[in-house]
Structure formats: structure tokens, C-alpha cells
Amino acid sequence: TEELAAARPYNPNKAGEHGFDSGLNPAPGAHADAPSRLPTASTLSELETSAKTGSIAPAGTNATIGTLDRVRVDSEGQVLTTNQGVPVADNQNSLKYGERGPALLEDFILREKITHFDHERIPERIVHARGSGAHGYFECYEPLTDLTRAAPFQKAGKVTPVFVRFSTVQGERGSKDTARDVRGFAVKFYTNEGNWDLVGNNMPVFFIQDAMKFPDLVHAVKPEPHHQMPQAASAHDTFWDFVSLMPESTHMLMWLMSDRAIPRSYATMQGFGVHTFRLVNTEGQSVFVKFHWTPMAGTHSLVWDEALKISGADPDYHRRDLWERIEAGAYPEYELGVQVFTEEEADGFSFDILDATKIIPEELVPVRPVGRMVLNRNPDNFFAETEQVAFCAAHVIPGIDFSNDPLLAGRIHSYVDTQISRLGGPNFHEIPINAPVVQVHNNQRDGMHRQAIARGKVAYEPNSLAGGCPFQAGAAQGFVSVPARMQAQEAQGKVRAKPEKFADHYTQAKLFFDSQSPVEQAHIAAAFRFELSKVTVPAIRERMVSSLRNVSDALAMQVAQGLGIAALPEAMPLALVQPATPEVLQSPALSLVSRPGEMHIQGRKVAILVADGSDGESAVALHQALFAQGAVPRFVAPRIGPVATADGVAIDADASLENEPSFLFDALALANGDAGVQALAANGYTAEYILNQYRHCKPILVMPDASALMQMAKIPTSLPSGEQDPGVVMGATASDFEDFVSAITQHRHFERESDPPRV
Ligand code: HDD
């Protein structure tokens, strides 16, 4: 057999089929061992032996890779073949009848290549088409067995592999990353009791309360159907027409107009499960839960002018940032927190926990940290993994259950349904990125693109011919729905209606607005002004302002002024005139100011502006100081390549004023050296470079000679109050560099901001 095998290449996994050794045919019923389904079993652990692989996982590895290994292809040292594995002799020329003769129909190599190419695209997602993904793992802090039997929460240190996809909602697959939009935050947990998808967003509320309105919402926000504009933007007539007629959207609009809608990075945004879910323990007892992801790097955003400019210079800004952070080892990390409360507590709240337009203020129910998620591996192939991954709100595991949220109900249906057309049939669960790490055993059969080879003649249950297998797991092991209380519903029977508290559309919109810092409030007003100024129908603008009067007259006034509406319209009539008194009037947790995260500069991009004649020594010292703290410093010069520094210190500029505009950086440093300063002053890009940094409230380090550049660009180094701007650090010593680093940890220096900008 070995001689035969050596003589002819064959697939070692299918040796029997190649007639080499019938002994290699699998024994009846043979298959790879499935990982233990015991709730405490580790799916993958760096601490103890994995039931799946029988070994301890190397640090940072991921059990899903096993499933992907089966299909991973590396072509190093291999000949080019057709899809049938036939070696291709010539990949340049089609088969012709003579050099100048007609191409031949017989050319199966050409035809296979072109046919496959013709079918390379699949439909993009209806919403969330633009996205970026990463592998990682979730690690449990402490057992939550009193609350839930869900596999990831059974043991301290238990590690469950995950795949995460972040996305924007409105734009198409190739649209820009920095649109004002909600961000999807979808996490697939490959647990040892099956896949659990927590398909959330970076905002804890939603536009609508009932799935019945989802197609309307999406049709309104998407590019308008007659001319397919605008792309990746909500600033247009149909969106504002719809939401101004749907007061239940107001709370979400406050989030959407806030800086939350323009995150700095996927690594610096929160995530939320949005709906109320249930946790269920082994006794079948259940509590309600809301899920929160909190980024360790802090929750940070862009400013609007910056987001607009980035979308031109680098439409892949967030995708690139995620990729580069992971490649650099600055792994994005998030803490999972839960708000747990009972049904009785929920009954007493001033709002309805089934209403996805409401949050549960953290001051009312604290967020308890339960674990952390680390994203430590980029996908090998965007299409195979990030594009083909199929998240589904219906994918829950024993220990997690749904609430009666009517928006969630529609989602439980929609996600599987949409994959059937997007991924071409009902077997999308077999695509490697979607396959659970546990084995799948059921009597579902066939369909387009089936991969599993189910053996034997039995595909039904009950059966005696297969010994009754696969058999029901029973309540102790299997998924059991919580028998929710239904007395109130029984009294009503079937209705198309909503509970009364759903009609309180403004209390929490007001809570959100009132909890923001003055700078954040100003940004919200400016965002409403920008968006509504793109609306061409005056009546829509006015209707929105009249709705905003129910949130804050000051806000409505500011927006009205920005739109040239002289007299404030009447406030929109309330659906619920006397809503219940809210428990909390201000929630500091809703303000970005309260979420700085760990105060470090890891992953922050810093431009060090140099030119021929700059002082090399101080520029290199700064570069080293920043690099040592995990930042990404880059030398930016009028052109890329070696810089002729005044002191002969070698500097290689890897970015230019032209190819990496300043708004792509988190901070800017202006190097010392008169000749270099003069060279930069003579370049028209320089003033704009500094101006954008200043206007976007980012830290600037000005080495002494470079003060001239600040003057040239007419940039003040003091605030309107006369105080020194803390975001403008002057000097070139090691301690000045430290001040610069701490200015970067502050993220932005809004003290200098004004509307319109001062410079
Ligand atoms: Fe949805 C995709 C999040 C309401 C129907 N949704 C999708 C994705 C995220 C969310 C993150 C992208 C997943 C990925 O990366 O592949 N959706 C939400 C949240 C919602 C929400 C947080 C409200 C709380 N969605 C919602 C409703 C419906 C849908 C009410 C329909 C009734 N969503 C879909 C969908 C998508 C989708 C059409 C498009 C592509 C896909 O599912 O896989 O089925």
C-alpha cells in the first residue's frame, strides 16, 4: 500500500476510496470523538485537558480552528489544478484551433475557471452588509451555576472559543466604515453544548418595539429606492420621515445622534444584547438578564468632521484598525457584564422590560462582570469566515432563553430565514465557520450542498433499526423552554396590541440626553442639525423638532436655530400623557466621559511630522518613548523614504502628508529643527495637517522650533479662557514626552472645541 501510495498522490483521508487499503475504510459508526457535553467540561482550556483534543490548548488558541483545519488550503509548493484536482499546464492561454484560430468549446479548463468566477458573489446581508470579523475566546471569571446552566459560565477560567463580527447597518458591503450608524456586535460562542449567538449592537436600545415594523425601518433608512442614494448615511428624507412619525424611535435617535454612532475603533465601543433574555439554572429556575460588553480600552469616539474626512482617506478605517491591533498583539478585549433581575422586580419598574426601546439604568440594576472576551486571531480568509458566518438570534443553548420581547420574536424567525437565500440553502450550518465544535446528530437530511455523510438507513425517530438513536437528551441535558407565566395573556386572548408602558416614548430619551456632558449634548444637537439639514422636506424637519421638544426644549431650540426654523413648533402630542415616575433621572454610566477605560496609549496612532533638516535625535527619542508604551508612532514627511536629518540620525518616513492625512492619527508631534520646520512651512499641506488635528481636539506635541508652524497655521495654544490648552504640549524633553503621553490617554481635548470651530 505504501509503495502504491508513494507512486500516486491520493487524499490520505480517503485512502480506502482510492483502493489502496480497504482496512482504511472507517468502521461502521466510526467518527471523531465528540467533546463532552457535561456542562462543566471545557470546550477549550489553557488550564486543563480539552475533551475535544485531549490536550491543553496552547495560549491563545481556539477550538474552532480544528473545524477550519479540515478545509484550510495552503498552496505553497503545489501545482495549479482545476477544481477536480487535474494539474493545469498553462494558465495563460485558452485552447484555440491554431494561434489565430477560434477558441474551442472543448476547453474545460477555461470554462471551469470562467464559470466559477461568474458565480463568485453571494447576496450581501440585507442589513449589516459591511463588517469585519475576528476569532477569540471568552473566559469565565466565576461559576454562575446558581443563575444558569449555560456552558460558558460553569467554571472559573473556563474558556469558550468565539468568532465576532462587527458591522455597520445601512451601507452596502463596500461602504465606508465611519458612517454615522449603529454598529453590529455579533458574538458566536462555540460552546460544548452547541452554538450560542449573542447578536447585539453597540447601542442598548432599538428604533422600534415590534418586529412588524422592521422592514419599514430598513426600507426607510436604506438608500432611497428610486436613485439608490445616499450610501452609508441616515441623513435623508425617508429615514427622517419614518422616525419622525415613530416617536418610539426617539430614544434610539438620541444614541444615534451621539458620538456612540462614530466609534474610534471596534476595540473602543460597548456592545449590548439589547433585549431582555433569561438565564435558567439546572433546577429550571429563571431570572431575567441584559448583556453588556465593555471595552477594556475605554469607550471612545471620533468627532463628526473627522469621521467624514476619514471616510474619504480610508474607508476601511475600522477594518484596518481591528486587523492591525490583532496583528500587533494589542488584542481588543471586552468584559461581559450582566444585569440580573427577577420577574417580580421587573413588574415594579416604571418601564416594560419587553420594550427594546428602553434600557435598565445601571443605577437601578448594577452590571455584574462575569467574564472577558479577547480577540486574538485574524481570519485566514475574509469570504470563507467573515462573509459566510451566519449569526442567528435563535441560536441559544441550555441555560439561556428568550423573553417575550416582540422584537426578539421576529428576530428568532428572520435570521435563519435570511441565510437560506444568502448562503444558498438550509445547510449553511455546515459551512466550517458556522459548524459547532460539538457533533450534530439528527434526522434532518439532504438539501443543497449537504456535507455530512449520515450513515445507515434510518433517518426517522422513533426507530428500532438504529437502536432508537439519536435519542432525545431529556430535560436534564437538553434545551427546555421556561414555562413563563401567562395568566394576563390568557385573559386577553389573541390581540394585535402593545402594553401601556410601551407608549412612554420620551422619558428615557430625556434620561439619555440629561446624562450627557455639555460637550456630548452639543454634539447631539450638531448631529441633528447636520442630518435634518440634508432633509429636503421642511415639514419633516419641523415634525422632528416638535418631537424633540418632548426630550429637551433647549435641544429643540438649538436644532431649530441650526435649521433656520424661527418659531419653535408645538411639542408633538404624547401617546402616554402621564408616564410612570422614572426611578432614575440621571445615569452617569450613559456618558462617554464616565468610560475612559484603562488609561494607556496602546494601539494609538501618532504622527511625528519631520522633513529634511529636522532634528533626528529628539524625533527618534519620541518615537521610542511612544513605541515603548504600545502606541503606533509613524514618521510622516512631505514624501516617504529616508529623511536627511540635520544631525544625520537615520529616519525613514513611512507615511507622507499626502497619503496619511492627519485625521487618520490619534495625535500629532511636530519635530524640532529650524531647517525642517522651514521645509514643512513651505508645504501647503502642513497647515491643514495641524489644523485638522487641532479642530478634532487631539493632542499635539510642539517641539520648540515648531512653534512657528503653529503660528503659521494660526493655531492658538491657549484656550478662549486664556489658560494653556492641556492638549497642546510644548517642549522636547523626556518629561514633555510623558505629558504628551498623558494627553493622549485623555483621548480628546474638548476644552478647545467651539461650534463653529474657532479656526
Ligand atoms: Fe438584525 C443582521 C443586530 C433587529 C433581521 N442584526 C444583524 C446583525 C446584527 C444585528 C449585529 C449582523 C450579524 C452579522 O454580523 O452577520 N438586529 C440586531 C439587533 C436588533 C436587530 C441588535 C435589535 C435589537 N434584525 C432585527 C430585527 C430583524 C432583524 C427586528 C427582523 C425581524 N438582522 C436581521 C436579518 C440580518 C440581521 C435580516 C441580516 C443579515 C443576517 O441577518 O444575517 O435577518
Q: Name all domains of the chain by residue range, CATH numbers in brackets.
A: 81-120 (4.10.91.20), 131-434 (2.40.180.10), 515-594 (1.20.1370.20), 605-752 (3.40.50.880)
Arithmetic mean of pLDDT over the chain: 92
Question: 184: Cβ below 6 Å to ligand 1?
Answer: yes
> Per-residue pLDDT averaged across 373-377, rounded?
90
Which residue's CA lies nearest to atom 44 of ligand 1? 415
Instruction: Give the pLDDT confidence of 423-462 residue by residue, as tens digits.
Output: 999 999 999 999 998 888 999 999 999 998 888 899 999 9
> Per-residue pLDDT averaged across 376-403, rounded?
95
Q: Would you state the pLDDT for residue 484?
A: 81
Q: Would you state the pLDDT for residue 489?
A: 81
| The residue count for the chain | 759
> Ligand 1 centroid vs 411 CA: distance in angstroms?
7
Which residue's CA lies nearest to atom 37 of ligand 1? 127
> Ligand 1 centroid vs 676 CA: distance in angstroms?
52
Concatenate the DSSP letters of all residues of 477-503 into one string.
TS--------HHHHHH-S-----GGGG
> Per-residue pLDDT averaged across 289-316, rounded?
97
Q: Would you state the pLDDT for residue 2?
A: 58
Q: Would you state the pLDDT for residue 382?
A: 97
Report the C-alpha gap between 349 and 255 in whole angstroms: 22
Question: 415: Cβ below 6 Å to ligand 1?
Answer: yes
> Ligand 1 centroid vs 126 CA: distance in angstroms?
9
Q: Given a cut of 60, is residue 243 above it in pLDDT?
A: yes
> Per-residue pLDDT averaged across 351-370, rounded?
98
Q: Would you state the pLDDT for residue 208?
A: 98
Which residue's CA lies nearest to atom 19 of ligand 1? 200
> Ligand 1 centroid vs 757 CA: distance in angstroms?
38
Dihedral sign computed on CA atoms, order 408, 410, 412, 416:
negative
Q: Would you state the pLDDT for residue 66?
A: 62
> Per-residue pLDDT averaged across 734-753, rounded?
96
pLDDT bracket for residue 45 (50, 70, 90): very low
Question: 164: Cβ below 6 Å to ligand 1?
Answer: no
| Residues with Cβ within 8 Å of residue 655, at least 6 apart in sequence | 607, 634, 635, 636, 637, 640
Q: Would you state the pLDDT for residue 42?
A: 45
Instruction: Outline where 222-316 has alpha helix (H).
Output: 237-244, 250-257, 304-313
Q: Is 598 exposed, middle or buried (0-12, 13-18, 19+ CB in 10 A)?
A: exposed
Question: 210: Cβ below 6 Å to ligand 1?
Answer: no
Question: 533: Cβ below 6 Å to ligand 1?
Answer: no
> Per-residue pLDDT averaged across 521-542, rounded?
98
Which residue's CA lies nearest to atom 11 of ligand 1? 184
Q: Which of 415, 420, 421 is the best mutation target for the ligand 1 pocket, counting ligand atoms within 8 Å of the beta carbon and taking the most?
A: 415
Q: Would you state the pLDDT for residue 76?
A: 80
Phi, psi of 699 (to 5 degrees): -70, 145
Which residue's CA lies nearest to atom 15 of ligand 1? 165
| Burial profile 227-258: b = 16 or more Cβ within 10 angstroms, e = fewer | eeebebbbbbebbbbbbbebbbbbbbbbbbbb
Q: Which residue numbers are catalytic?
A: 128, 201
Q: Which of 122, 124, 126, 128 is the best mutation target for the ligand 1 pocket, counting ligand atoms within 8 Å of the beta carbon and taking the most?
A: 128
Q: Would you state the pLDDT for residue 11?
A: 47
Question: 201: Cβ below 6 Å to ligand 1?
Answer: yes
CB 231 within 8 A of CB 171: yes
Q: Would you state the pLDDT for residue 185?
A: 98
Which residue's CA lies nearest to atom 21 of ligand 1? 411
Report the C-alpha gap between 390 and 410 in whole angstroms: 17
Among 26-35, 300-309, 749-758, which is the least confidently predicted range? 26-35
Cell of 38: 457535561
Q: Given a cut of 50, is residue 154 above it in pLDDT?
A: yes
Picking from 549, 1, 605, 626, the residue whose alpha carbon sits closest to that of residue 317 is 605
State how far the alpha carbon of 276 is from the alpha carbons of 92, 247, 369, 717, in Å.
Answer: 58, 21, 17, 49
